[in-house]
Chains A and B, each alone.
Chain A
Amino acid sequence: MPRSFVTIDGNEAAAYVAHKTNEVIAIYPITPSSPMGEWSDQWSSEGKPNIWGAVPTVVEMQSEGGAAGAVHGSLQAGALTTTFTSAQGLLLMIPNMYKIAGELTSTVFHVAARSLAAHALSIFGDHQDVMACRATGWAMLASNSVQEVMDMALIAQAATLEARVPIVHFFDGFRTSHEVAKVEQLTVEDMKAMLPDELIRAHRERAMTPDRPVLRGTAQNPDVYFQAREAVNKYYLAAPAIVQKAMDRFAEIVGRRYRLFDYVGAPDAERVIILMGSAAETAQETVEFLVERGEKVGLLKVRLFRPFSIDHFLQALPATVRRIAVLDRTKEPGSAGEPLYQDVLTALIEGQAAGKAPFAEMPKVIGGRYGLSSKEFTPAMVKGVLDELKKDSPKNHFTVGIVDDVTGTSIDYDPSFSTEDDKTIRCLFYGLGADGTVGANKNSVKIIGEETSFWAQGYFVYDSKKSGSITISHLRFGPKPIRSTYLISRANFVACHQWSFLERIDMLKWAVPGGTFLLNSPYGPEEVWDHLPRTVQKEILEKQLKFYVIDAYSVARETGMGSRINTIMQTCFFAISGVLPREEAIEQIKKAIVKTYGRRGEAVVQKNFAAVDKTLERLYEVKVPGRITASKDLRPPVPPEAPEFVRNVLGKIIEGNGDSLPVSAFPVDGTFPTATAMWEKRNIALEIPVWDEKLCIQCGKCVLVCPHATIRAKIYDPKYLEGAPPTFKHAPARWKDFKDLAYTLQVAPEDCTGCALCVEACPVKDKAQPKRKAINMEPQEPLREPEAANWDFFFRLPEFDRNKLNQTQVKDLQILQPLFEFSGACSGCGETPYVKLLTQLFGDRALIANATGCSSIYGGNLPTTPYTVNPEGRGPTWNNSLFEDNAEFGFGMRLALDQQARYAAELLRQLAPQIGENLVSALLSADQSTEPGIFEQRARVAELKKKVQELLPKANGQSLLLRDLLAVADSLVKKSVWIVGGDGWAYDIGYGGLDHVLASGRDVNILVLDTEVYSNTGGQCSKATPRAAVAKFAAGGKPAAKKDLALMAVNYGNVYVARVAMGASDMQTVKAFLEAEKWNGPSLIIAYSHCIAHGYDMRYGLEQQKLAVQTGHWPLFRYNPALAAEGKNPFQLDSKAPSLPLEKYIYNETRYTMLVHSKPEDARRLLAEAQADVMNRWRIYEQMAAMPGAPVEAIQRGN
């Protein structure tokens, strides 16, 4: 069968071979390797077989540790088994990897290599994770490109079966895993030819079976463990040759030849770079460029890193080599050098000593680090390294690609050096996350890759926000294979798909002279020029760019495309770029539309066709006037009044120049200030809410539900209105006790995301025009400046005295300052209103432990972060440890606080005579069960500190105790520990720890933001996913019921448990938060969080929450052990019996309806079962709620 060319990404390439050559696949989602598992699951659910005709079993486990355990078991029972992972996931597999290697078991793990969480988490690519596995005994094979990923996946599979050494097959996360490229697809025949039956039979024969019983996993003792461990040696000695043999066999079958160490460059090279991974492609492009120009340089690509074959290594290097730079894409602080550098040195020294090395004299070797967390690695940097090797004393242990102005490790390079081929067309597209730009560009790469003789490459960069995120697509097309694994900085074609980006991003700096600029503009060809920022006009003129405009949003509206401009902009690209003849391009676009959207219905295809046709009528070339006319220029990333760190560091990141920041700009230990999101004005809302002060009843519901804390209320003395901006609105406060005060509801116009949840929450309607509410959405642009001034004035109004408010009332809650604002969460997010509420109630005394997931990303992703401070400078302190350990992490915080408080109390008792008995007694007996009590204690502690400061100079023998007391005095004020995370953490990977912490009895508060799916990694099924819902790994609808985590926690008896849904009952939610925090023991709040992964219009999220409760899917309850202590029933059911059928709720959401459309019979059956789940659970809850109060003595209080 002839091989075909496909345009796919690295993940799909790896998964393709893995799925075809395995029988069992156990996985767990983690970025950037998740798609490998998703592809496998999809293919198995479609019934696609492996090369032996069986459909592989794909199972999702509760963690990577679980996946590795399942893989180990499956291998032991004889199935060809694999998994896919990255980063911390790979670390969780390490214990099993030792076992699998120790038992000489053939398997391949495919790893999209990623940074590890250290001073910070990063989802991007480097080799830290795979390098952490060096000691496990696994072979390690690197792929440098998408084609190599497919090839090496098969070579690894063949080699492991013969060598019996398991193999980590790795490639760079994102750069390779997510790069879309044209590759030749291996056939089933290729795979069969590479995997002889006898090796597979041998693998099966080593399996455990009661028919030929054996025993593995013995415990061994000092007498034999050592020798037995050495028994594997011959397999490791043989492995490199076996891998080379597999590579040779592959070359015979397929034609592409690989070696364990592949050398490219001058045969008489004097300076050589050694590295592995995607950077090898860039290095090869650069080396070939330089060799053509007469330089004696070379590159050694390391493919099989472990077992490291010194012989093969020495044979690969030219004898002429005098200088070597070894580049590691990892960092091992405190080591003598990074891993590849150390292995190269060892090899050279051993080779030289053994007389095997070809060199006249020992080459000089330097090691360096590059590319951590997908940091760009460009030809300029490669040249920089080669130039460094020319120096008399080249820098060792250097870094390249950053400026290290602290320890001076970085080397210089000329950033203007380029190896880009003129024949390669390079295109940059700036799009908005939701506008479909990336999807359209992936389609374009496919069209060009599969329908023309051109090679094609697509790489996509996203910013760190989940709402209003900017995407940048880097596309290359050309007659020669493309090795450029770096971003485009010389673009022939630049497209700006969003008008608002023009004032934020200087994108034309990447355009080459004479290039083309395509702009989606609300202004036509005659008027657009005067609306452009000065910098844009200047660059168009100076570079003599061809300039085209289209009003894509009006075309989208007219053709029923809504806000999707993907097809329109794609058509423009093909129409003016000249990559394909126009007619052919249009035909191919239409074919791609049918392929992409056909299964979603004819109507969708037709509207896309209409968009294509309409686009061609509405695309105009602009006659560029010969002069600059702009009155405005790009906006500064942050205002000049922002704090220095925000201006100098975060501002650079915001404007897209984070790469230029030197090492000295950063904290050494990952500690960042809070209160920074307020400086990043993103202006992403097309419409914002506008307050009608005459209609408003000041109920505060809009403030409560706002996910981004952009709608706020204050009550204040009217005297502060002096100097208010002209359009600043206010009304008399509608509070019985504060009649004389003024009230203002103010929107932060530049921070609002335009979700309109507030408008939906507003209960007031204009009697004459019921479509008008007390807040209404209106276009942002004309309101931006006046409302920004109003917001500024509002923000400076004093905060109201919290002690005068009733915190159980939603109306009063709106006045409490949120200490979580302007996050990067999705527009209309269902999680963030709960987080915000937490900070309103307890933010000034909260320590937050945050599990990895959506809440850690919108909570802590740079550049700016949403946790903030009150006027006294207090606010939540926040940290993210890992995904799996969050309950324990927060629990540890509690232990420390309690321990310090105990120590402080002990010191107080010891120092009472000096400090004063009255103050000490008041401090030790303080009632901090209420907020005023806490505030009073704060005042006492302030007094104590003052007293201690006074005592210190004359303390003599007790100064140590006094200093200690000063250090721990603040622990005498009650602190509130919150453990926050999603359902993936609480129900799955972190459940063991969560359970342990619940059982501990300690005073921690756990908030589970339950979206019923792994939201952050893209909608994979969790144990919180309800029956009948479709999710990744549950494509046929989840067959099992949602785990009732709340009921499981209730069983402990001493845990406060609440299930809440703000949209159904805000009062109950507020009560639950207050009671949970008050309960002196573990508390668990499970909060229904509507989510984009549900496939629902987020604007109506609150209404959907209500339906979840009314149908009984999400019964509200509170289990308060404090009531049991009073002899009452602690279980209070807060919602009524199901009053609507479940389908009224679930069939509003795509996650359910897609099953109705795809498998109607299954959907019907699962609906019936899910309805039965609801009724059965309700019966249990009803019985529990009807039980009489528990006897007091049965209650175990926390602590």
Chain B
Amino acid sequence: MPVDLTTTYLGLKLRSPLVASSSPLCKEIGNILRLEDAGASAVVLHSLFEEQIQLESGELDRFLSETAESYSEAASYFPELGSYNLGPEPYLEHLRKTKESVDIPVIGSLNGISTGGWIRYAQMMEQAGADALELNIYFLPTDLELTSQKIEDTYCDLVSHVKASVRIPVSVKLGPFFTAFGNFAMRLDSAGADGLVLFNRFYQPDFDIENLEVVPNLVLSDSDELRLRLHWVALLYNRIRPDLAITGGVHTAEDVVKGIMAGARCTMMTSALLRHGIPYLEKVEEDLIDWMEEHEYESISQMRGSMSAQSVAEPAAFERANYMKVLSSYTLKPAPR
């Protein structure tokens, strides 16, 4: 009997836990079709950035206005075009077309900057046919006056506002940088989040020390990054209501297995696909089936949460003592002779 890969996430029935994570790959419908063909069980679209919409709109306005009506021979320097797709329309159109083109669930991703923007765009995505919504809350609290309490309140308010505005399930994609992540996850649960996606990878800028410049630096993830996710999913599994999903560091079938065992409903991939190409997803699925068959697992649900803090023999392994142990066991390799 073939192994059962199906899972559910945000109430959506998925044919496997392999979900295509939100990434620029999803900007092209051709890529999404290929992802579906390669076995992706759902796709999270690239994010709609409210800030970008405002920026583009502001830039266009600036350059059309700044030079106008300042010189007798030229009242303007550009033709006035009928309309500009500056709002969320191009994104929503993409979402609609994607829904028409694929059978797998399509999850919209949203990054807003104002409460009004979050709600408005969330509703628009729902109307455009999104099966669920992923709130990509990407906020760097650089203001030294801002307390952690205030930040967490803002996140929770946002989730409850959006939840109150749409009927489709809503997940929240988060970064790991919270003082009491467990408590915060619980608060998001109370705010109504249907899922938590752990964790966002922030693009950390690098330094160009020749030119003394801060430069953007995009590094693809590797499997090492998985462990932070495993750690928190394992700790939260079965202790909060929202579904848990892992993103960041999922590269191999083994990574998928670990994620599920920690307690994730699905595992999301981007870096591996960017590195190896979309067909690589087929290989991960084949490897997953092989591994499950080899290890005589019947289904994904059978292994889900099996390595969570609640299920393992030594839950302390997830706690601080483990850290001490690792440090004390770390020794330098002997230098080559």
Contacts and interface: CB of A to CB of B under 8 A. Distances in A.
Nearest to A31: B73
A1154 B75 CA distance: 18
Q: Which one of B60, B83, B85 has the greatest number of beta carbons of chain A within 10 Å?
A: B60
A974 interface: no
A123 B79 contact: no
Contacts of B74: 1015-1019
A439 interface: yes
Contacts of B57: 600-604
A1130 to B, nearest CB: 36
A564 B90 CA distance: 28
Nearest to B70: A433
B76 A1158 contact: no
Given A439-B68, A439-B69, A603-B54, A1157 B62 contact: no
A1000 interface: no
A1071 to B, nearest CB: 26
Interface string A1090-1123: 0011011000000000000000000000000000
Interface string A1026-1038: 0000111111000
B144 interface: no
Contact of B60 (A471, A562, A601, A1096): A601
Contacts of A436: 65, 68-69
Given A601-B53, A770-B212, A42 B79 contact: yes
Contacts of B87: 601-602
A599 interface: yes
A1099 B94 CA distance: 35
B72 interface: yes
A745 to B, nearest CB: 21
A665 B64 CA distance: 41
Q: Most chain-B CB neighbours within 10 Å: which of A432, A433, A603? A: A603
Interface string A334-361: 0000000000000000000000000000
A789 interface: no
Contacts of A746: none
A834 B53 CA distance: 38
Contact of A601 (B56, B66, B68): B56
Contact of A1018 (B58, B66, B77, B85): B77
B324 interface: no
B223 interface: no
B143 interface: no
A599 B84 contact: yes
A129 interface: no
Contact of B69 (A32, A433, A1151, A1157): A433
Contact of B75 (A1013, A1015, A1018, A1151): A1018
A601 B63 contact: no
B84 A438 contact: no
B81 A1158 contact: yes
A1035 B77 contact: no
Contacts of A123: 72-73
Contact of B67 (A34, A434, A1158): A434
A871 B197 CA distance: 73
A64 interface: no
B66 A434 contact: yes
B76 to A, nearest CB: 6
Interface string A1141-1162: 0000000001101100110100
Interface string B74-100: 111111111111110010000000000
B216 to A, nearest CB: 14
A1136 B73 CA distance: 39
A328 interface: no
A363 to B, nearest CB: 40
A257 to B, nearest CB: 33
Contact of B86 (A41, A601, A1013, A1151): A601
Nearest to B60: A600
A603 B58 contact: yes
A38 B73 CA distance: 13
Given A466-B71, A601-B54, A770-B212, A1151 B60 contact: no
A434 B70 contact: yes
B67 A1153 contact: no
Contacts, number: 149
A1030 B77 CA distance: 10
B80 A42 contact: yes
A1035 B78 CA distance: 8
A499 interface: no
Interface in B205-241: 211-213
A469 B90 CA distance: 39
A1007 to B, nearest CB: 22
Given A601-B61, A603-B54, A604-B57, A1018 B69 contact: no
Contacts of B86: 599-601, 1157
B59 interface: yes
Interface in A583-616: 597, 599-604, 607
Contact of A597 (B61, B68, B213): B61
Contact of B84 (A34, A432, A1016, A1157): A1157
Contacts of B71: 433, 462, 466, 469
A627 interface: no
Contact of B53 (A560, A603, A765): A603
B97 to A, nearest CB: 13
Given A439-B68, A601-B57, A38 B77 contact: no
Contacts of A1017: 73-74
Interface in A401-449: 432-434, 436-439, 442
Q: Which of A32, A602, A1017, A1034 has the most CB of B within 10 A?
A: A602
A796 interface: no
Nearest to B57: A601
Interface string A117-147: 0000001000000000000000000000000
Given A438-B69, A469-B71, A1157-B56, A1019 B78 contact: yes
Interface string A25-66: 000000110110010011001100000000000000000000
A777 B90 CA distance: 39
B71 to A, nearest CB: 6
B321 to A, nearest CB: 44
B212 A1151 contact: no
A954 interface: no
A174 interface: yes
Contact of A1153 (B60, B79, B90): B60
B76 A1019 contact: yes
Contacts of A45: 79
Nearest to B84: A1157
Contacts of B211: 765
A1015 B71 CA distance: 11
Nearest to B66: A434
Interface string A895-915: 000000000000000000000
Contacts of B64: 600, 1095, 1150, 1154
A600 B84 contact: yes
A190 B157 CA distance: 60
Contacts of A1030: 78-79, 81
B75 A471 contact: no
29 contacts: A32-B73, A42-B79, A436-B65, A438-B70, A439-B65, A439-B69, A462-B71, A466-B71, A469-B71, A599-B83, A600-B57, A600-B64, A601-B86, A604-B57, A604-B58, A767-B212, A1016-B73, A1018-B76, A1032-B79, A1033-B79, A1035-B79, A1035-B81, A1092-B67, A1150-B59, A1150-B63, A1150-B64, A1154-B64, A1157-B86, A1158-B83
Given A600-B57, A604-B57, A1093-B77, 13 more contacts: A123-B73, A433-B70, A436-B68, A462-B72, A601-B60, A602-B87, A767-B212, A1016-B74, A1018-B74, A1018-B77, A1019-B74, A1032-B79, A1150-B78
Interface of B: 53-54, 56-87, 90, 211-213
Q: Which 8 A-B pairs have the closest CB atoms?
A: A433-B70, A601-B57, A1018-B74, A1095-B63, A438-B69, A770-B212, A1019-B77, A1157-B84
